[in-house]
Structure 1
């Protein structure tokens, strides 16, 4: 633990009142496979019993350090000079101790020593190996940080973490049961944008279909209708896609590709992950700039990538010197056709399950998530209603029987804590406390 402690990150602001750690945890000694983590504790003057959260970004193959920690819910964000950091007033370590894990091996700083970048460790990455490696990481990490073994533990993530999070939770529950001891004290899981299923390539964009045990036809048609309703493309085009695209059988005719290509043209140059947000028009670094968490900057990815490729930054993080990029492409080897059975088992185990979604996300819209969850056929414990953050409507929430809740975040896109950091902190604080977000201002 002491060897992993970070003295200070280059360019960090003054007055840092929490401890931070980073390094590698080996998950397969024979293969030399190790996962990189960045860990931030709650401020030193906070309650010593704050829970522990593991944060996972999706992809599959994208960085929880570059996105989760540096662009969303971590304690710092990168200024537009690409060299210095500023504080995130609404960082989740205000209410919890947070691990950001780069997973699976091959993502950014995480690695395997087997022969080369075309090794079987990278070629065979998939849902199963990712869940096993992440569980092994947690067990070994807790040996390094034994003071957290008895803490309440939560898993959170977004996008393809709609696979990662439930599968890791299932692995934890299985091992707790089969060892007759609580190896990891799992209390709840929360994941964003309900990425339950794989994706189709449609023209130059990839549209995520949130299948959760429903037929592809019904879910896909619902998704296309949703995009038509919000005005991203027209009704005539929607009818053509319905007529010529056979989503149910994963097949498509030339007519289908003609219509989906037209959809790409009609959508235009927008950020499909945040359809009303500005796009990055100038990715160059700006000297002497100072950012604010209150002002969304669409060029943040460029600042983060520059910062994490500074040799002094990689050294401070105890990371191997490498060319860091946000995501890695994989020939993903396995994903279940549905995670519905896994999710049902988790709910039945008594573990709290929250699914959250930004209402500006065109990648996986809120309505598509609602349609998918209807397949669970759970009774409603508390009906759809507004929740509040700082005297404003923060979004809407419905609570189902068994501990499942769907929370929307008003004004947020796919990366909820990036677009609406204050509202994200409000709902995650409620989640950790086991209560719905405030229903009154």
Structure 2
């Protein structure tokens, strides 16, 4: 098997744990077949990826990212033909809710006209805390903040009323004059906590011995329309994800070490800017459709295995957003796969529901925006069952 892992946003990438040390896994899962992980930094400008043409940075968007990733895969498989024909899966989180389905769609369409040696054996994909549908994503954020006591009854009422529950104008939505100020007040409610993990402590200032220059803030170049019109939305603190609230500071320091870059064969050209978990190089995003739900429905109908999972302590793309988005597709829950708890090591790992159309929705209890960082054991169990095409364990019996 081959799993292709995409980054989580136009300017953001996954954040490893503190110290980047090997950690013994609490439970080893037997895997009968080797699974190779292919990690791609895309689009150009994130991580250590770069372009020789400065103009490329002005052409970025969803379409270019999908095309570049597809071209990369075809060229990579041509260079390493031993991987051709293997079952192929894609995975990603956050804005990869756009990246992954769009790439899967391009592969699906490309396979129709491809010769035998150019077919990518795509079987399915999984996306976590995924940006799927602007209207329900935004409404779900507000509902989550209210239900978790982050905003008041009055602010909840003001945002949903003045912003017309975030309906798109094409669907008859009519935001009121008070929408802008209500959204601004909503964002201010997260000033002192980590929106990506609402129960994680924030990182306190490092000691003088560990002090390092603060990374330059970067704009969130792809964001829902009613939120993205506010400068505060783009410049919201890039709160670190993980149990250690200072993870992001460790990562920046680690990947900017020359010995680390040499070991990774990274930054061989000597980039003019430092590595940062969220790139400040990308300042423009040309296309970002308000929804990818039609793409999901198309690929379900094509028979792909699709899992959408959600860490339930994330306030940025919360479980309420995901559930609203999935419900908007009007899928039919399987008779024996309705909403239920799933278990890991005799504890509830979260909840899940399977749909007749081929999609599975999974929640991961107590995990924030980047689920594998918060819940590595449960994440591995989820991946294991996804790749095998098996339902998550429905009972607390030991494995």
- What's the offset of the Cα at 1:271? 0.5
CA contact (8 A) 1:78 1:86 kept: no
1:290 maps to what in 2? Answer: none
Q: Provide the aligned length of Structure 1 versus Structure 2.
A: 348
TM superposition score normalised by structure 2: 0.81
CA contact (8 A) 1:157 1:165 kept: yes
- What's the offset of the Cα at 1:337? 3.0
Counterpart of 1:318 (choices 265, 270, 277) is: 265
For 1:129 and 1:284, how far apart are their aligned partners in 2?
42
Does 2:91 match 1:141?
A: no
For 2:300 and 2:293, how far apart are their aligned partners in 1?
11
CA contact (8 A) 1:126 1:333 kept: yes
Counterpart of 1:195 (choices 108, 123, 131) is: 131
Structure 1 residues 107, 221: closer, same or farther in 2, change over 3 A? closer
CA contact (8 A) 1:359 1:409 kept: yes
Q: Which moved more, 1:302-311 or 1:322-331?
A: 322-331
Q: Secondary structure at the residue paired with 1:165?
A: helix
- What's the offset of the Cα at 1:296? 2.2
For 2:342 and 2:311, how far apart are their aligned partners in 1?
14
CA contact (8 A) 1:61 1:327 kept: yes
| Counterpart mapping for 1:47-58 below 5 A | 51-58=1-8
For 1:90 and 1:155, how far apart are their aligned partners in 2?
25
For 1:151 and 1:408, how far apart are their aligned partners in 2?
29
TM superposition score normalised by structure 1: 0.73
Structure 2 gaps of 5+ residues are 211-241
Does 2:19 match 1:87?
A: no
1:437 maps to what in 2? Answer: 392
CA contact (8 A) 2:130 2:317 kept: yes
Counterpart of 1:353 (choices 278, 290, 306) is: 306
Counterpart of 2:245 (choices 298, 301, 305) is: 298
1:40 maps to what in 2? Answer: none
Cα RMSD between the aligned structures?
A: 2.5
| Counterpart mapping for 1:55-204 below 5 A | 55-63=5-13, 67=14, 71=16, 77-79=17-19, 85-87=21-23, 89=25, 96-114=35-53, 119-181=54-116, 183-196=119-132
1:274 maps to what in 2? Answer: 197
2:146 maps to what in 1? Answer: 228
RCO (CA 8 Å, sep 6+): is it higher in 1 or 2?
Answer: 2
For 1:124 and 1:93, how far apart are their aligned partners in 2?
43
2:226 maps to what in 1? Answer: none
For 1:142 and 1:91, how far apart are their aligned partners in 2?
33
- What's the offset of the Cα at 1:284? 5.1
For 2:189 and 2:331, how far apart are their aligned partners in 1?
38
- What's the offset of the Cα at 1:268? 4.3
Higher fraction of strand: 1
1:258 maps to what in 2? Answer: 181
- What's the offset of the Cα at 1:263? 2.8
- What's the offset of the Cα at 1:220? 4.1
2:217 maps to what in 1? Answer: none
CA contact (8 A) 2:143 2:320 kept: no
